[in-house]
Structure 1
Amino acid sequence: MSRYCLQCGKSTKACICEWIHSLSANVELIILQHPTEAKKPMGTAKILTLSLAGCYLFQGENFTQHVEFNLLLCESDVQHFILYPSDLSSGVSAAKEAMSNNSKVRIIILDGTWKKAYKIWQLSSNLKKLPMIHLPKDLKGNYRIRKAPSNNSLSTVEAGYHLLSLLEPERDFSPLLDAFNHMIDFQISNMPAGIFKRNYS
């Protein structure tokens, strides 16, 4: 018997499938995952791909020549945005406006540490052609078991949750955070006594 769940890819002991719910969304997500994130037990991108039918995940560092990704970008009836905070990025209202004009919207999320996400951004020339958007700066992350550069740093699933909730407020995407919090609580409960408090509090 495999030690890993064939669906979520996590160890059978840490399987998150019981907390996953199928959710509908008009906005689609594309996750560009740095290879170093793929096997991390606390990675959260899988929650999005398991929960949302319209969620694509590709792995790599340089997506300039990535065939499947470029085929999606070439779809003329879809407006693509990349979630990448910068001096040139706009709020999510830019994507909301595209939706109001009856455009199909996809949002690209970079999955990795800030350093790894920046490397994907630097290497992938096709990303630089896309309009950049950012989430509100007052959002607080709850990724309690990974070090973050600031209090408003969000995990990939938190970023996806906030994007979808802002763009489609009539839908309930809270199961994404429920699965995330269950995963975090499980990991903390299996840490040796005092480790979490010493390293993360």
Structure 2
Amino acid sequence: MVFVTHRPVCGLCLRPHRTCICQWVRPTAHAVEVLVLQHPLEVHQAKGSARLLHLSLPHSRLLVGEAFAAPVWPVDGKNTLLLYPDTPLDTAPDLLPPPPLPPEWLQDPSRLRLVVLDGTWRKSRKMLYSSPPLQALPRLALRGLPPSHYRIRKAHLPDQLSTLEATCAALAQLEGDAERFAPLLAAFDGFVGQQAGYLPG
């Protein structure tokens, strides 16, 4: 006879109660709408930061998928842009060059929607290649970033940040208020410390 046991799961962060991350949620006001597109392999990644980000940003949505044949954001008058670095040397045949970001979009953060890809660099790149609607979006590239505090996952380049860190930096850049996101970034340090405690010494 086989007995199947299921660990109780938190209804908010969707993690086992023993590893619940709700203590690190910091509700943070923001004007720019955020849409997080999460790669399916990241859903159960304990070290992932997207769920904490989503729970902390009231005007955010989190959708899971790898390839998006049609836009998954509404046509509602908002200007939608993609948080993604400039890749001028990327000449893959399936990758269209992004349109320029209209400067007038940046004058009213409340009319902006920021699309964020949650996955490793390779996974997010595949999501972009597999999704023509994402390729058609103007891009926001981040500049002058501080070092990442995301020590629990390996970065391939020094300027690679966690999804939470990158999104906070983008919102600070678009809304001109970095201090507003400082409590969430401080809580993220606590989250990283919690996850590091589960790793073998």
Looking at structure 1, the residues matched to 24 and 102 of structure 2 have their Cα atoms a distance apart, in angstroms, of: 29
- Mapped pair 1:139 → 2:146: yes
CA–CA distance in 1 between the matches of 2:133 and 2:173? 26
SS in 2 for 1:159: helix
Residue-by-residue CA offset, 1:69-89 (whole Å, 9 max, x unaligned):
14x2x22x2011001112267
The answer to whether the Cα contact below 8 Å between 2:33 and 2:110 also exists between their aligned partners in 1 is no
CA contact (8 A) 1:90 1:133 kept: no
Q: Which amino acid letter does the alignment assign opposite residue 85 of structure 1?
A: P
| CA distance in structure 2 between the aligned counterparts of 1:48 and 1:122, rounded to whole angstroms | 25
Gaps of 5+ in 1: 194-201
Match for residue 33 of structure 2 among 16, 28, 32: 28
- Whether the 8 Å CA contact 1:89–1:133 is kept in 2: the answer is no
1:184 maps to amino acid = V
Aligned to 1:118: 125
**Per the alignment, do residues 90 and 146 of structure 1 end up closer, same or farther by CA in structure 2, a change over 3 Å counting?**
farther
Deviations 1:173-198 (A, max 9, x none): 122212221111112223333xxxxx
Partner of 1:198: none
- 2:111 corresponds to: 104
User: What is the TM-score normalised by the length of structure 2?
Assistant: 0.83
Structure having the higher helix fraction is: 1
- What letter corresponds to residue 79 of structure 2 in structure 1? Q
In structure 2, the partner of 1:85 is: 85
Quick check: 1:184 aligned with 2:192?
yes
Q: Which runs of 4+ in 1 moved over 3 A?
A: 88-91, 94-97
| Match of residue 137, structure 2, among 98, 115, 130 | 130
Distance 1:54 1:29, change over 3 A: same
TM-score by length of 1: 0.83
For the residue of structure 2 that corresponds to 1:135, the secondary structure is: coil
Q: After alignment, is 49-58 or 81-90 more displaced?
A: 81-90
Q: 1:186, 1:49 → 2: CA distance? A: 18
Could you give the per-residue CA deviations for residues 20-69 of structure 1, whole angstroms, max 9, x where no partner exists?
A: 12111110111111100000011100111101111111111111136xx1
Which is further off, 160-169 or 94-103? 94-103
1:127-147 per-residue CA deviation (whole Å, 9 max, x = no partner) reads 121101200154321210111
RMSD: 2.4
Percent identity over the alignment is 34
Q: Distance in 1 between matches of 2:167 and 2:36?
A: 10
Q: How far is 1:100 from its partner?
A: 1.5
Inter-partner Cα distance in structure 1 for 2:60 and 2:26: 14
- 1:162–1:102: structure 2 CA closer, same or farther, 3 Å change rule? closer
Describe the shift of the 1:11–1:129 C-alpha distance in structure 2 as closer, same or farther (beyond 3 A): same
Q: Distance in 1 between matches of 2:64 and 2:190?
A: 25
1:82–1:127 contact (8 Å) kept in structure 2: yes
Matched, 1:154 2:166: no
Unaligned ranges ≥5, structure 2: 1-5, 89-96
Tell me the matched-pair count: 186
